[in-house]
Amino acid sequence: MARLPVKIAPSILATDFTRLGEHVSEAIVGGADWLHVDIMDGRFVPNISFGPMIPQAIRPLADAANIPLDVHLMIEEPERYLKQFAQAGAARLTVHAEATRHLHRTVQDIKELGIKAGVALNPATSLTAVEEILPDVDLILIMSVNPGFGGQSYIPQSSSKIRRLRRMLTDRGSSAWLEVDGGISAKNAADIAAAGATALVAGSAIFRGEKSVADNITEMKNVVRTVFSV
């Protein structure tokens, strides 16, 4: 079977934390391409998740399977904590354009740590916020819900934003990943991929419900594959 050009990144925020290692292992065995780790500080978003100890705890499982940790910093002044999360095992760090005063410097600081750099945009933030930084980033993350809580519904207007960002990346010859996070499920994953996304973050759709983690990942990959079938 041909390799799928869209990555599926289960968000561990939706796991049962009494079974974190088990759920992460199930996601890896089930075909996860990346593991998405949401860091929330209770300031930038109205919730608190965890610090570097969680990515550090799951890093051995990810490293053994050669699965990258995709760490999303939903925190104010993320530049203060880049080194800690890099040391915890992040393969890439994504910061919010809204959360740091000196975005270019923060992106460069991430790269100096030897890892990939991403920039995230909240639903109401214009794409112009990343226009000047595009040549320097490895990933742009479009939030398709207001960040801070899992289980929210996908904001329909996000699809237009994804299409516009895809055109922007193509026009500039950028190979940056276009990641989308929020309200993604097997019901809308194909449409989001068709709009131009190349990485899909899913939490509740992967780790909750009646089906197994592996079955949920397989279902999402199968519906996305229809976009690329001849």
Residue 1 lies in a domain: no
- Indicate which residue of 33, 41, 70, 181 is catalytic: 181
- Indicate which residue of 33, 38, 41, 138 is catalytic: 38
C-beta separation of 178 from 194 below 8 A: no
Q: Let me know if 181 is a catalytic residue.
A: yes
Residue 205 lies in a domain: yes
Residue 69 lies in a domain: yes
Residue 2 lies in a domain: no
Residue 110 lies in a domain: yes
Q: Let me know if 38 is a catalytic residue.
A: yes
> In this predicted structure, what is the pLDDT of residue 209?
80
pLDDT tens string for the chain (230 positions)?
Answer: 456 789 999 999 999 999 999 999 999 999 999 999 999 999 999 899 999 999 999 999 999 999 999 999 999 999 999 999 999 999 999 999 999 999 999 999 999 999 999 999 999 999 999 999 999 999 999 999 998 776 789 999 999 999 999 999 999 999 999 999 999 999 999 999 999 999 999 999 999 888 999 999 999 999 999 998 74
Contacts of 7 (CB under 8 A, 6+ apart): 33, 34, 177, 198, 199, 200
**Nearest residue to 117 via CA among 92, 148, 97:** 92
H helix or E strand, kind and range, residue 219: helix 213-228
pTM of the entire predicted model: 0.95
Distances (CA, A) of 195 to 28, 123, 164: 26, 16, 9
> In this predicted structure, what is the pLDDT of residue 147?
83
Q: Which domain holds residue 56?
A: 7-228
C-beta separation of 51 from 39 below 8 A: yes
The CATH number given to whatever domain includes residue 137 is: 3.20.20.70
Number of domains in the chain: 1
